[in-house]
Homo-oligomer: A and B are copies of this chain.
Amino acid sequence: MNYPSRLIEDAVNEIAKLPGIGKKTALRLALHLLKRDEEQTRALSDALLSMRTQTQFCRQCHNIADGELCAICSSTKRDASLICVVVDTRDVLAIENTSQYHGHYHVLGGIISPLEGIGPADLHIESLVRRLQQASEQEPVREIILALSPTMEGDTTAFYLQKKLKPTGVKVSTIARGIPIGGDLEYADEITLGRSIVSRVAYD
């Protein structure tokens, strides 16, 4: 496409580097900003840069934090004997939104994916093991809950973590897989349905 000016072309190219945004959408967004007050673009531009340069990560769980420790790790109301292992901050937010979990987290920062060249060393796995070793001296960790997506990469990562965490002797569990609430049995895929039968739960 022939852009009307080099400035627009640069902006479109940079916006289109974001995931899920193509050149057409990028152009629409750029022209939208051109129509609005300069103040809006300045605020967006500043907010992005401040976020990128000033955001800190919790030294314990690697979640995004405002200081050295994130709000969850520094809270006295959370159960430090439970650690839920997730891929990224969005998973933390999703689980927090359920209000069903009151333990700590550990953010891996990614998932093992040989296709994308991401191995265990690229993730925060060593620091999880260290965290368990240090914790045992102070207050023990009772359980590690793996909250990973039931995909090839998620299962691979879960398998690796299980092996890696075995020597620590801490109980390792995974979130339940099954028919989603409101889901229709008829439309569930056979693997999910099969797993939900194998992992059936007895009524109390």
Chain B contacts of A84 at CB under 8 A? Answer: none
Q: Is the CB of B64 within 8 A of A34?
A: yes
Tell me, yes or no, whether A175 is within 8 Å of chain B by CB. no
Q: Is the CB of A28 within 8 A of B90?
A: yes
Per DSSP, are chain A's interface residues mostly helix, strand or loop, or mixed?
helix
Number of A interface residues at 8 Å Cβ cutoff, please give it.
60
In the complex, how many angstroms separate the beta carbon of A152 from the nearest chain B beta carbon? 21
Provide the bound-state CA to CA distance between A40 and B66, in Å. 22
Report the copy number of this chain in the oligomer: 2
Provide the bound-state CA to CA distance between A31 and B88, in Å. 9
Tell me, yes or no, whether A113 is within 8 Å of chain B by CB. no
Chain B contacts of A4 at CB under 8 A? Answer: 63-66, 70-71, 89, 92-93
Chain B contacts of A41 at CB under 8 A? Answer: 48-49, 51-53
Chain B contacts of A31 at CB under 8 A? Answer: 88-90
Q: Is the CB of A52 within 8 A of B29?
A: no
Provide the bound-state CA to CA distance between A186 and B70, in Å. 60
15 residue pairs of the A-B complex, CB under 8 angstroms, read A4-B64, A4-B89, A7-B55, A10-B47, A13-B47, A17-B40, A18-B44, A19-B29, A20-B28, A21-B29, A28-B90, A30-B48, A33-B48, A35-B109, A42-B49
